[in-house]
Structure 1
Amino acid sequence: MGNLDFTNHPGFSWYCILLLVSGVALLVLGPVPGLSRGSRIANLLFGLGFLGYGIYLVFMFHGGTYFLLFKAFIVPIVLIVNAVRELRYANLRRRGNNRLKGREKAMAGEVARRQAEIQTALAEAHARHNAAQAQVPTEVQ
């Protein structure tokens, strides 16, 4: 398969495999919902770069000098860890918002109940006041 020769050039072959795997992994992480726009763009760009360079080295490279990018080993790990952190944070934030919505509903019910009690108490006080006013004799001059 192209330039993959694990017997004569195992380092080069494994480097190509790691480039291809890193590129595919980052492309898979690219459209994941819950990640920020910047993370998705970075995942897609690095994924395309690693995958493209890996394909070039495997199928189109005919010997000579090639760049051994140590970033091909570090960047995918950093981006995957970042994606996991962002997804966890988004999940925690979503669960926290759901809890707040439940509390808001409970508080709204409590507020409505207290408002009803106050209105009832005011209506009773108004009725007592009107009854007391009716019992007071008025002076005729």
Structure 2
Amino acid sequence: MVEKPTSDYLPIVNQPKSITFEQLNPYYQYSQQIINNKTNIHKTVTKNGDLKLSWFNHNNSNHDIQLSVIKYKHTCLRLNGNSLSKNFKTTAIGALIINSKPGANTLILNYKAGSLFHILSIICLISWLLLIIRIMFHHRKKAQYYPTKNE
């Protein structure tokens, strides 16, 4: 597998206005928090396309763990079967920090696109259909004006 040292998009959160892009250095943070994250996590993809992360907390109490995944705005999280809506933190680039219980832990991530995405997808599909219909009628009309030599 090839490691890509830079991400396509990072959801920079809570960036103070006085910090410049160079000072934040998100690609260095990405390298440290995602690529070089040494946390022992087993990642698999479920049958329905969700990302499943499993790890074992060897402490006798709850313990914060930074996972090597990025949480975006519409990312849905389920930790040990329970939905997470606010019981997590993220780093400046959106890497997920979870409070894990002692023992085995499982986190399921999936992405649910917002309603605007669905509306724009439908508009795009309708536009393509209208374009195809327009082209078909244009060629049909053109064929009526220019009869073949046999007619």
TM-score (norm 1): 0.31
TM-score, normalising length from structure 2? 0.29
If each structure's helix is expressed as a fraction of its own residues, which one has the higher value? Answer: 1
Q: Answer with 1 or 2: which has the greater Rg.
A: 1
Bigger strand fraction: 2
